[in-house]
Structure 1
Amino acid sequence: MPRSVRVRRRDFSRHWALSPLAKRAGRPLVRALELPAAVPAPVFVLMLGLLALGASVGRRPWALGLWLFMVTDWAMLALLPRLGRSFGSPQPAAMTLALPRAALALLPVPLLFAASLQVVGSALAFYALWIEPHRITLTRETLRSPKLRSGAPVCILHLGDLHVERVTARERQVVQLVESLRPDLVLFSGDLMNVSYVRDPKTHEACRWVLARLSGPLGVYLVSGGSATAPEEVLSELVAGLPVRWLRDRRVTLEHRGQTFDVVGLDCTHKPFLERPRLEAVLAGDRKRFTILLYHTPDLAPDAAELGVDLMLSGHTHGGQVRLPLFGAVFTSSLYGKAFEMGRYQLDGLTLYVTRGIGMEGSGAPRVRFLCPPEIVLWELDGSPT
């Protein structure tokens, strides 16, 4: 069931997160997270030993055990690219996992309990790194509208946030699912490549391999997730010669089985105060048809609701990628925080869906998913009595 939410549209034109100062402040942090990638493996293992030693104050024999847990994390991460699961540098992610381990080791608890916490940590890390990122789920959604003709359903497949690094079992599974579901229309809501491999020719080949295998009678349409994951010249080359249309502030009218509806695609700058005037311009004219907005982030949803959009398909948040029981997403990258973290929402006449996406964050972040498996979404649109 959709969650009916009342979210007041906010003016983010002076929001600190979108300011040049925030960008300058964020660069050193990103660089700091990636620093361990340049450290040779033997030196990094020694660094983990020093960290374990420092976290074992008062019980030095425990330092060896803690170090072994940290090295095991590093080994699990190092095997991921070797076995074609994901392709991040192991050192930054291993340090991200080692720091919480060191913090747990400092707790004044019995040694057996402390060791048990570390074992649980290893099990959770294995699941989040190796299992859940490849456990693609299919979500089925239905929407009825008086703007559509009853008895002639249209099936739309929504994909988002592929974050391709290479062709892995995950990408092959996506293609197999699309082929088996045989949708009428495929819509992709942005972030095709992993940010770590935007300029990598092998990643470009992998993206084209995936895009070339998506199809539907009404076609395949995509929007950009922003310049960080899809520079204009790179995305133009990726879709060249493929049966995929990049909707750049465009509206197309589609007809199928007697149904007529519009699909609007908008380039994403992550600045909704700049996007709204462009959306108004694209929507100008006939507004009687059922309208789908394809836009990367959910941050434009309050504006889309005011402008009469019927269905908005977004992603960007990854559902948090890591979720905690009773709390949900730890982090969403949305200007509205946790208001639109994942799933289906109802904002007056607008139905918004925020997909958890397929891939994972890049750069120095661990390629993990926890309580947030990747998903593809199959929509059935049909008419309803007026």
Structure 2
Amino acid sequence: MSKAQRWPRRMVSGAAKVFSLGAVSAVSATLFGLVSARQFGMRYETLPLLPSGHAPLRVLHIGDMHLVAGDQAKINFVRGLAATRPDLVINIGDNPGGVNAVDDVLDALEPLLEFPGVFVPGSNDFFGPHRANPLRYLRAPSTTDGAEKQHEKIDARTMFEAFTAHGTWHQLCNQSTTVQLRDGRKVHVAGTHDAHMQADKWPGFAITQDSQPLLKIAVTHAPYRRVLDAAVADGADIVIAGHTHGGQVALPAYGALVANCDLPTGLAAGLFTWRSAGRSALVNVTAGIGASPAVPLRTFCPPEAVVIDLVSADQARAY
């Protein structure tokens, strides 16, 4: 008689119940994650960064759409963000979720291209997703090594040219510029190529005749420490980033399991202060609108776009 046959009936029954409960829990968690990934929402921040006497300045911070072709619900959400009436749109990249999604990305962003804006690229603007073990996402940061061979290429050039065709958006790929807002005010903005691709080089802020710019904004796709250090040391008032998806898979009372960069998981999303070279600045990391196509679920870190109202210190008391 085999060992399995000698087990008491109640032991076999108990093991079957444990297995069944585990299977049900796994299915429930997956369904919860799939549903949560579609709960598009907004986060609002009010930050006293402007000099006294200046009118508020609204920044719309978006990114990590990972838009799959035909996803009309996500397209509608992004298009609807124009209703926030931003003074400046900042797009931190990873727009398409596949090689055939560029037209849908342009459809989603079309209303926002009417506003002044800047953008930086992420690796998923250049390469489509490929099949992978979802558990790899929880073990360690992803890598772009060999992406040229493993992934189909996305027509990033056409997409980026469409972004700038209106003359309102500026690409910041290891570059800096001065953006003039609709009311005539100017902000200095500098951004990097994707640090996750090891393609970043901090450009410094543009040197212009504006000796005291209204604001210095740094933009990067992936908030690696070296980029935050360089931007803050160079005088940035705020750094805008994404890439992390807020951990994408988080646990209640614990938070993100991974940050997919060299930040601690506790900084995988939200607003925090970063210090470098005796200076300090705020950093806002968006949890992003989408999810990794290889792991299309989110738990306890819902997708988001972020509205940042920049005000003077005296105005902040009224908010």
Q: Tell me the TM-score range normalised by the shorter chain.
A: 0.7 to 0.9
- Residue in 2 that maps onto 1:288: 212
Q: Is the 8 A contact 2:188 2:206 kept in 1?
A: no
- Residue in 2 that maps onto 1:118: 23
Classify the secondary structure of the residue corresponding to 2:307.
Answer: strand
Q: C-alpha deviations, 1:233-286, integer Å up to 9, x for none?
A: 8222113344343223122232454643222222224377x745x333x45566
Q: Is the 8 A contact 1:263 1:294 kept in 2?
A: yes
Any unmatched runs of 5+ in structure 2?
6-11, 128-152, 315-319
- Residue in 2 that maps onto 1:323: 250
- CA–CA distance in 1 between the matches of 2:240 and 2:77? 18
Alignment of 1:160-309 (within 5 A): 160-194=63-97, 197=98, 200=99, 202-217=100-115, 219-226=116-123, 228-230=124-126, 234-241=155-162, 242-243=165-166, 244-248=169-173, 249-257=175-183, 259-270=185-196, 275=200, 278-280=202-204, 282-284=205-207, 288-289=212-213, 290-299=215-224, 300-309=227-236
Q: Is the 8 A contact 2:79 2:110 kept in 1?
A: no
Q: Give the CA deviation at 1:151.
A: 4.8
Which contiguous aligned blocks of 4+ residues in structure 1 show a shift greater than 6 angstroms?
Answer: none
Q: Is the 8 A contact 1:148 1:260 kept in 2?
A: no
Classify the secondary structure of the residue corresponding to 1:371.
Answer: coil
1:380 aligns with 2:309: yes
Q: Is the 8 A contact 1:188 1:222 kept in 2?
A: yes
Q: Give the CA deviation at 1:164.
A: 1.6
Classify the secondary structure of the residue corresponding to 2:305.
Answer: strand
Note closer, same or farther for the CA distance 1:313–1:357 as it changes in structure 2 (3 Å cut): same
- CA–CA distance in 2 between the matches of 1:170 and 1:58? 51
Q: Give the CA deviation at 1:152.
A: 0.5
1:141 aligns with 2:68: no
- Residue in 2 that maps onto 1:157: 60
Q: C-alpha deviations, 1:316-339, integer Å up to 9, x for none?
A: 111111001232212221123425
Classify the secondary structure of the residue corresponding to 1:121.
Answer: helix
- CA–CA distance in 2 between the matches of 1:333 and 1:124? 22
- CA–CA distance in 2 between the matches of 1:113 and 1:239? 52
The answer to which structure has the higher helix fraction is 1
- CA–CA distance in 1 between the matches of 2:211 and 2:25? 55
Q: Give the CA deviation at 1:125.
A: 1.2
Any unmatched runs of 5+ in structure 1?
1-56, 60-106
In the superposition, the TM-score normalised over structure 1's length comes to: 0.62
Q: Give the number of equivalent residue pairs.
A: 268
- CA–CA distance in 2 between the matches of 1:308 and 1:240? 30
Note closer, same or farther for the CA distance 1:58–1:192 as it changes in structure 2 (3 Å cut): farther
Note closer, same or farther for the CA distance 1:209–1:216 as it changes in structure 2 (3 Å cut): closer
Deviates most, 172-181 or 351-360: 172-181
Deviates most, 169-178 or 183-192: 169-178
Q: C-alpha deviations, 1:154-204, integer Å up to 9, x for none?
A: 11100011112213144233234313222222110111122xx2xx3x312
- CA–CA distance in 2 between the matches of 1:301 and 1:287? 23
- Residue in 2 that maps onto 1:127: 32
1:361 aligns with 2:295: no
Note closer, same or farther for the CA distance 1:339–1:125 as it changes in structure 2 (3 Å cut): closer
- Residue in 1 that maps onto 2:267: 340
Note closer, same or farther for the CA distance 1:179–1:275 as it changes in structure 2 (3 Å cut): closer
Alignment of 1:16-165 (within 5 A): 58=4, 110-129=15-34, 131-145=35-49, 147-165=50-68
Q: Is the 8 A contact 1:185 1:215 kept in 2?
A: no
- CA–CA distance in 1 between the matches of 2:65 and 2:171? 16
Note closer, same or farther for the CA distance 1:140–1:112 as it changes in structure 2 (3 Å cut): same
For residue 314 of structure 1, what is the amino acid of its counterpart?
Answer: A
- CA–CA distance in 1 between the matches of 2:14 and 2:193? 52
Note closer, same or farther for the CA distance 1:167–1:252 as it changes in structure 2 (3 Å cut): farther
Q: Give the CA deviation at 1:287.
A: 6.3
Classify the secondary structure of the residue corresponding to 1:347.
Answer: strand
For residue 206 of structure 1, what is the amino acid of its counterpart?
Answer: D
Note closer, same or farther for the CA distance 1:373–1:213 as it changes in structure 2 (3 Å cut): same
Deviates most, 374-383 or 332-341: 332-341
- CA–CA distance in 1 between the matches of 2:254 and 2:13? 27
Classify the secondary structure of the residue corresponding to 1:125.
Answer: helix
Q: Give the CA deviation at 1:288.
A: 3.1
- CA–CA distance in 1 between the matches of 2:13 and 2:222? 43
Classify the secondary structure of the residue corresponding to 1:296.
Answer: coil
